[in-house]
Every structure is written in C-alpha cells, then in structure tokens.
Amino acid sequence: MFATLPEPQPDAIIALMAAFAADPRDGKVDLGVGVYKDDHGNTPVMRAVRVAEQRLHDKQTTKTYTKLAGDPAFVAAMQKLALGETPDRLAGAAAPGGTGALRVLFELIARAAPGARFHISDPSWPNHAAMLKAMDKAPGAYPYFDAETRGVRFEEMLAYVNGLGTDDVVILHGCCHNPTGANLTLDQWQQLTDSAVEKGWLPLIDLAYQGLGDGLEEDVQGVRHMAARLPRLMIAQSCSKNFGLYRDRAGCATVQCADADEQAKVQATLASVNRLLYSFSPDHGAALVEIILNDPELRADWEAELTEMRGRINGLREGLAEALRQETNSDRFDFIRQHRGMFSRLGATKEQVEQVREEAGIYMVTDSRMNIAGLTQDKLRDFARAAAAAGV
Ligand code: PMP
C-alpha cells in the first residue's frame, strides 16, 4: 500500500536544520529556524514559565480532559492580551500552537462558506499555503513585499483587497511579518479596515509574535483598530515565541462574531472542529500561560523578560545594519533597522546565500530570510563581511 506513496515535499527550513547539524565547523551560525535565541545561542525556558510550572505541579490534581474548546480562562486571557477590552461576542478555542489555531479557523470557514477563497501575502509563512492546499483551498496571493525597497507594496496590496468581496478571507500578519520583517503602519491598517468595511472581506489575523516587535500593546494597534470597527474577524494566536513554549503547543483561535446568536453557533462549531481534528487540545502550555497572564507579579516578570528579548533583537538589527553600512560602504541595508520581529530578508540570491553558508558557516534560508535572533554581537562583523564578499 505504501509503495506508491508520493515523496513528501521537503520543508526547506527543516532541511536547513539538518545541514546545519551536520556541519562540523566551530562557530557556525544558524539563522534558519525561527526560534528566539539568547546571546549564548540558547532558547531558554522563560523565568515566569519556570515558576508557573512549579505552581502547576503543586496545584494540579488531575490530568483528566479539559473542555473541547480548552480552558475558558486561557482563552479569555489570550483574547484580552490581543484585544485589550474584549466584546462579549467572541468565540474562542484553545489549539495546538498557532498552526493548530489556523487549521481550526480554516476548517470553520470551510464549513461556514465552502466556496470561500483565502488570500495570503506574497510572500508568506510557507505553511499558510501548504495547509490550505492540503484542504484543496489553494490561496490567492496579494502583493506585499517590495524586493527593491524591502518595504510593503501597500498601494498594490490595497488595490488587490479592494477587488475582493464577502466570499474572501484575507490572512494578515498581525505584526512581525514572517518571512520579510516588513510591517504595515497603523495608517495602512486603517485603510485596510476601510476596505474590509466597504467590500465585506473577512480578515484572519495570524498573531504569532506579539511583543517581539515594538511592544505588547504597540504590536496589536492595527489588530485592535480592525476589531473595533469590524463586526467580524478572526485571530490565530501562538504562544510559541512570546512565551517560549514551542514544543508545548499552546495557541488560541478567536472569532469575533456579529451578535450573540452567531457567537453561540460559532463556539459550538469550534468545539466540534477541535473534536474532529485532534479532540482535546494540549493544556500544559495553555495552563502556564493562564497562570502567568492572571498573576500580576508573574506577568510583570514575563513582560520584563519579553522586553529583554525584544531589546536584544532590535539591538542586533541596529548592529547588523551598521556593520553592513561599514562593510559595503552603503546605506542599502538600513531597512534591517526599520524591520521588526525575528526575521528580515537580506535580499541575497540563492547563490549568494550558499556562498555565505560555505565560506562563513552562516546559514540563511534559500530566500535569504534570516532569523535575527540567531546572531550574536560578535558575529555581526563576520556576517557583514561574508555578505559583502558574496556581493549581496
Ligand atoms: N504563523 C506564523 C507567521 C509563524 O511564523 C508561526 C511559527 N513559525 C506560526 C504561525 C505557528 O507557530 P506554532 O504553531 O509553532 O505556534
């Protein structure tokens, strides 16, 4: 039966992780996989997470199932984190990571409107298109990244969404765009909101990096503006990066509904979609997040550590832009300063990416996406030199 099994499409980032692991050189640098790293190249368990784990260990008396839509206290805390004041017409469900939250929301749309069409940014996180294709819902792509300026092609993006209607779902990155690092301004979010109001398309906001751009509140200004003005929208949150809970798989799917009747129906559907896809969502990471967000002291410490992480990333952005300025005698890499989040696209060709990998042991994804957090201050000069030598 398995003899005719097609070879799965290799995932470029996972393949890069394997190549990096096999490289015997000391001092090699992995800018591939999207995990936060500290100055020593470690991805630490956050302090507040450790304390919450101890508390959970002490107080948890059972591991029996939670609810099909997860623990409502976790869902409520996550919704408040994203939206601030929350309206009472929100439906929501815990999910296995941001990926799980996206998958649940895709399924909800498939049930609510089988003919609906999805649209993603060009480019986007590769799993958006991969998951949708696996559901026979290959997405359209709206113009987004300008390879010349490394900014957003906003006029073209706006023209694209202005051509959409009530059968269209537009996936937007809430902040810290992956893979490009180029983000929408608040004014641009406002213009997109006007378009959604007028044309009736439905936003699905992928919020995987809240707090890693400019701040917990700053990063969701656009999302909050949209939520305040639109009757409906969807949000997929991940706790992988901002809580460092990658392998614990904590995430949340939220649907802002038009009214209470719609909310009840959507809530019941989310629970039944969870049942269909994986039954109960993992609760360990969700329980930690709920403890942290609802305990003022732990929350303050979590926010402080998140601020340190963000500061490190933005400091590396400054340092790398400066090193590239000096090595290339030009300001064409200053976009790295303006970009936010873990990633930027350097703008190198596949051959240049390979040359930097071979000569300096620095691993970027083939499209020249780099995880800024994978760098350390002492490597900035080496990286800039290698990039300049490769003619980037
Ligand atoms: N969306 C985006 C844009 C991402 O970058 C990621 C993580 N790489 C996710 C969603 C999903 O994250 P996870 O499932 O690990 O929580």
Cα 348 to Cα 366: distance, rounded to the nearest angstrom = 9
Q: Which two tokens stand for residue 158?
A: 């706006």
Per domain, the residue ranges of the chain are: 12-46+299-389, 65-294
33-37, 64-68, 301-305: least confidently modelled range = 33-37
From 189, 236, 241, 386, active-site residue: 241
Q: Which fold has domain 12-46+299-389?
A: Aspartate Aminotransferase, domain 1 (3.90.1150)
| Predicted confidence (pLDDT) per residue in 213-263, tens digit | 999 999 999 999 999 999 999 999 999 999 999 999 999 999 999 999 999
> 183 — alpha (psi -120 to 50), left (phi > 0) or beta?
beta
Residue 100 has pLDDT above 90, yes or no: yes
Cα 69 to Cα 95: distance, rounded to the nearest angstrom = 8
Cβ(87)–Cβ(282) below 8 Å = no
From 206, 248, 283, 382, active-site residue: 206
The DSSP letter of residue 180 is T
Active-site residue 388, yes or no? no
Residue 8 has pLDDT above 90, yes or no: no
Cα 322 to Cα 381: distance, rounded to the nearest angstrom = 9
- Grade residue 33 by pLDDT with cuts at 50, 70 and 90: confident
Residue 39 alpha carbon to ligand 1 centre in Å:
23
Residue 93 alpha carbon to ligand 1 centre in Å:
17
Residue 220 alpha carbon to ligand 1 centre in Å:
17
The DSSP letter of residue 145 is B
pTM for the whole structure: 0.96
Cα 373 to Cα 38: distance, rounded to the nearest angstrom = 7
By most ligand atoms within 8 Å of CB, the mutation choice from 17, 36, 99 for ligand 1 is 99
- What are the start-end ranges of the H helices in the chain? 12-22, 47-59, 72-83, 97-112, 126-134, 154-162, 186-199, 221-229, 260-277, 284-294, 296-328, 335-338, 350-360, 380-389
Average pLDDT over residues 327-342: 95
Cβ(196)–Cβ(169) below 8 Å = no
Residue 260 alpha carbon to ligand 1 centre in Å:
30
What's the mean per-residue pLDDT of the chain?
96
Q: Contacts by 195-200 with C-beta closer than 8 Å and gap 24+?
A: 195/158, 195/161, 195/162, 196/161, 196/170, 196/226, 196/230, 197/229, 197/230, 198/162, 199/161, 199/162, 199/164, 199/165, 199/166, 200/165, 200/166
From 48, 82, 208, 250, active-site residue: 208
59-63, 146-150, 313-317: least confidently modelled range = 146-150
Q: What is the dihedral of CA 374, 236, 132, 163, to 10 degrees?
A: -110
Cα 359 to Cα 274: distance, rounded to the nearest angstrom = 47
The architecture in CATH of the region 65-294 reads: 3-Layer(aba) Sandwich (3.40)
Active-site residue 206, yes or no? yes
Centre a 10 Å sphere on the Cβ of residue 80 and count the other Cβ atoms it contains: 14
Residue 141 has pLDDT above 80, yes or no: yes
Active-site residue 241, yes or no? yes
Looking at ligand 1, which residue's alpha carbon is closest to its atom 5?
A: 178
Average pLDDT over residues 181-196: 98
Q: Do the two domains 12-46+299-389 and 65-294 of this chain adopt the same fold?
A: no
- Grade residue 106 by pLDDT with cuts at 50, 70 and 90: very high
Pocket of ligand 1 (CB under 6 A): 34, 97-99, 125, 173, 178, 206, 208, 238, 240, 246, 251
Q: What is the dihedral of CA 113, 117, 120, 122, to 10 degrees?
A: 180
For the CA of 34, the nearest atom of ligand 1: 8
Residue 10 has pLDDT above 80, yes or no: no
Residue 290 has pLDDT above 90, yes or no: yes
Q: Which two tokens stand for residue 114?
A: 């089988």
